[in-house]
Structure 1
């Protein structure tokens, strides 16, 4: 038992004493058939002798509450004839979402700042105090590499509960990457879950917050972009003409995905004219596109932008038929439209409203 945990128990004892409740010396690491209980307190209340079965945590977020509830329920099952036991979670810091879960599980809780909630039969203690700033652990960067693929999969599947394995397949990443992302999103309380163990499924509970956070990070990207000119007989029909040239070139049609205003306008018609195209391609292939499509590098008057990227930009790309351009997923289109060019911001708003619904 660490010094911090003993100090937390002492704070709990003092809170009980201030409410006129006598507390015996605590018992730590109490064994039972399913394991060990962190702490057991014998108290004398106005309603008789009671025992507080206490699980101790450093920081309590919703994912931590599930484990603590399971431990306490195991202890109660091993003492199923004892009606005097009150399960309690005590922590240095308890998030608001965790407090909601504790009340849902009918668990008492104590926070080091002095917040104390306990409801047992006719007995109620409800002391609410401002939480102390919790010692923040370093945040896991979510919007990098393969983690962005998990983020996109979660947004696309936001209405469905999915297992970690299902999310790994959908995002084309490892279960470790999925687990890393889910843990960070649970810490932020942007994820909800159902089931447990092998039946555990999760989905986004705060898709708006996640998309807004991704959008903020996306605008800071430093992609490799090159500007080119490609002759088109009908600039107003730029996307289809460029796709036809691409289809007839050595590069083929499936190597890149279209993004930007021209692609988004195909999904949510809003702009009257889109005479430039943006194509996301694998890194290092710009030279091959230049040669195959006879592109000319220009500083002004460019009508083609090649963007070199990997990862989420190619995931869930839309291609209704083989004869149509392959468009980036609407979430990627929305993010790319946040570059502030022309009327892109206006189109981004329309796309988010009509297509994303977030």
Structure 2
């Protein structure tokens, strides 16, 4: 039977309840002794009896933890071993842990438990790995990075992955407020996606692993679809000459647009023998309506060869490139759009990433 010397935090109590449900593991005692305070953040000890030998788990707690937090904690644990018993098993209990934090802890054989029920414990006679979805507060924080104006900052970093940026540089390129840029850079630093140098106003960052950030963004989009605003049939749009004409007419009427999906990917990194449809992001305007009239574009529900995705913000049009007179969405935007496409779109996305994006 578990012995509680004094009341503890609910998170540790849930951790203990999880241990008690494990086969071949008995929780002998949970110590909430004030003398533990001298041991650098160790707030509780859980003593276990296993089929091999007794195990002492020393627990520290945090509200949230990302790779940067874990590296600091691992350094503290190494120091603690000189004043603690050598066979102790350290464990971090947190409301939420990032995937990178969990990977680091597993690699160092340090246990963890979070409020979502994820658990890792590696000790003589017991090995437990329970992986559950991130708790909602952490999930919401991560998800918010990939939407709205915050996503513009990610876009700016991925377009120039080797550049070092200050907050002002990023905010100007991403067309966001400096406070938004600063918040996003701070979050990315916590997730260990950024390297940094300097201090204060002169501090600069750049992406440590751009491929990991792009993978995370792609994962967030999994299963989602791009909203379709209008479908048109434009006579002769299959020919390259007519697609170029579309670009000229849009420019003449000062339409702000960016072709994406297969038609753009084909121009960045040819993959298909032909493309049957042009899909473009577009900011609605009277000029756009005039351009459609000049192109003899007819609104249809079936048989469309021009799909327009209307947007009120310039996020999807950031870093667009003009190629042979046609504005194309950035390779990063095209890649993300293709992942939400159908048919061979995902194959084309991987080809574009390999041949043009490069990470």
Q: Which residue of 2 aligns with 1:129?
A: 128
CA distance in 2, matches of 1:71, 1:109: 15
1:137 deviates by: 1.9
Give the 3 Å change call, closer, same or farther, for CA 263–22 of structure 1 in structure 2.
closer
Mapping 1:7-86, distance limit 5 Å: 7=13, 26-27=33-34, 30=37, 37=41, 39=43, 55-57=60-62, 60-66=65-71, 68=73, 83-85=82-84
Aligned-pair CA distance for 1:277: 3.9
> Is 1:296 aligned to 2:296, yes or no?
yes
Q: Is 2:239 aligned against 1:239?
A: no
Map of 1:171 onto structure 2:
174
Map of 1:156 onto structure 2: 159
Confirm or deny: 8 A CA contact 1:259 1:336 kept in the other structure: yes
Q: Is the 8 A contact 2:228 2:307 kept in 1?
A: no
Specify the structure having the higher radius of gyration (Cα): 1
CA gap of 1:22–1:160, structure 2 versus 1, over 3 A, is farther
Aligned to 2:216, which of 192, 199, 210? Answer: 210
Which of 316, 321, 341 aligns to 1:318? It is: 321
CA contact (8 A) 2:259 2:278 kept: yes
Pair 340,99 (structure 1): closer, same or farther in 2 beyond 3 Å: closer
- Alignment partners' CA distance in 2, 1:156 and 1:352: 12
- Root-mean-square deviation (CA, aligned residues, Å) is 5.2
Q: Aligned-pair distance for 1:84?
A: 2.2
Shift of 1:161: 7.3
State the alpha-carbon separation in 1 of the partners of residues 350 and 133 from structure 2.
36
Deviation at 1:256, TM superposition (A): 1.9
CA displacement at 1:192 relative to structure 2: 3.5
Report deviation, 1:149.
Answer: 2.2
Counterpart Cα distance in 1 of 2:169 and 2:209 = 12
Counterparts of 2:248 and 2:334, CA distance in 1:
21
List per-residue Cα deviations over 1:88-108 (Å, max 9, x = no partner).
44316867743553477x795
> Alpha-carbon deviations, 1:3-32, whole Å to 9, x = none?
326648989xx9xxx99x999872268479
Is 2:273 the counterpart of 1:268? no
- Determine the structure 2 residue equivalent to 1:355: 356
User: CA separation in 1, counterparts of 2:219 and 2:60?
Assistant: 34
2:130 aligned counterpart, secondary structure? coil
> Could you tell me whether the CA contact under 8 Å between 1:289 and 1:295 is conserved in 2?
no
Does the 8 A contact of 2:121 with 2:129 survive in 1? no
The answer as to whether partners of 2:156 and 2:170 remain within 8 angstroms in 1 is: yes
Match in the other structure for 1:306: 308
Query: Displacement, 1:316?
Result: 1.6
CA separation of 1:61/1:228 partners in 2, compared to 1, >3 Å: closer, same or farther?
same
- Structure 1 position 146, deviation (Å): 2.0
| Separation in 2, partners of 1:318, 1:99 | 39
Deviation at residue 328 of structure 1 after TM alignment = 0.9
Residues 59 and 93 in structure 2, CA contact (< 8 A), matched pair in contact too: no
- With the length of structure 1 as denominator, give the TM-score of the two structures: 0.63
